[in-house]
Amino acid sequence: MSIASSWSLPFLRTLFKPQKPLLNLFYRDAISTSATTVTTRQRSDNPKAPAKHSYFGKWLKLANRQTEGLKQGQVFIVGAGPGDAELLTLKAFRLLQQADVVLFDALVSEDILALIPSKVVKEYVGKRCKKHSFTQDAICKRVVELASNGHTVVRLKGGDPALFARTCEETDALTKANIPFAIVPGITAASGVSAYTGIPLTDRRCAQSVSFMTAHFKDVDQWPEMAPMAQNVLKQTMVVYMGLSRLEGLCKGLIHHNVPTTWPVAAIENATSPEQRVITGVLADIHSKVEAANLTGPTLLIFGKVVESRQQVNTLLLHSSKHAATI
């Protein structure tokens, strides 16, 4: 965990310390899974005790009926951001403190996982290229199962849930099961990469727009349509998620569709983390440079003239204890 993260963690945990409810009218069952630990909330009041006042008795009955509905559980689909724990939103942090279970992806950093209280059950449901530990169907079923058992579930996804996170498949399953859910945005990888590398996503001198695309599809054999991609690359910035394994093919396809071999490209591994690496080149040589650097971590690709507009940002300022002490 970064120095700034360690400084801010006690403050954030104090800020979002859960408050005891006025009346604890229900409890949640222990998680009936292979998880090793879980915290259960015990009943502290006897809801069957006679009310001393008729109005209070009516209110108590109404509250009990409402809590019966809450036993179904709820799900928060939360964006964890690009990696740096201090880029996590305050709402996301609060929900992690209040969750019963957190289901997290492979792209969620260790620094962010360290923010989750020990009483909260953490389950890994990650998927990486050629290393799928869980199918998407299995993840959807698990989320529904936990929420149906009355638990508050945080489905923690790297980056932003709205971008290439397969969120719709999980929300469809929740909707069919009549389970309430909410979505909490996170900083997407492209924004994090831009800030921590100094490569702008737009520059009015060369790129008035930006497009996000994924290099991987539900059909693993499908490829992006190279002709439209080549036309877009010449007019705007193109950011490709999950494109490392297809970098060579993408470059050859763009060159085949008349994009100059000297067109700028950047590959950024482990963005916003202390292990971040930036490899820049052109269509003709970026693949060989990436191979020589042996990039293996999560990598984002940026195609476009904005790579030549790179700003000389000093990321040490973002992790400086001196800076942290002043905020």
Catalytic residues: 105, 127
d(CA 237, CA 256): 19
β 299-303/237-241 pair status? antiparallel
Please, what is the Cα angle at 9 between 3 and 199, to 5 degrees? 55
> ∠ at Cα 320 (319, 324), nearest 5°?
95
The label of the residue with tokens 């992790």 reads 319
Would you give the DSSP letter of residue 81? B
Q: Is 145 helix (H, G, I), strand (E, B) or coil?
A: helix
Secondary-structure breakdown of the chain: helix, strand, coil percentages, each rounded to the nearest 5: 35, 20, 45
- Other beta carbons less than 10 A from residue 218's beta carbon: 8
In the three-class reduction of DSSP (H, G, I as helix; E, B as strand; rest coil), residue 131 is classed as: strand
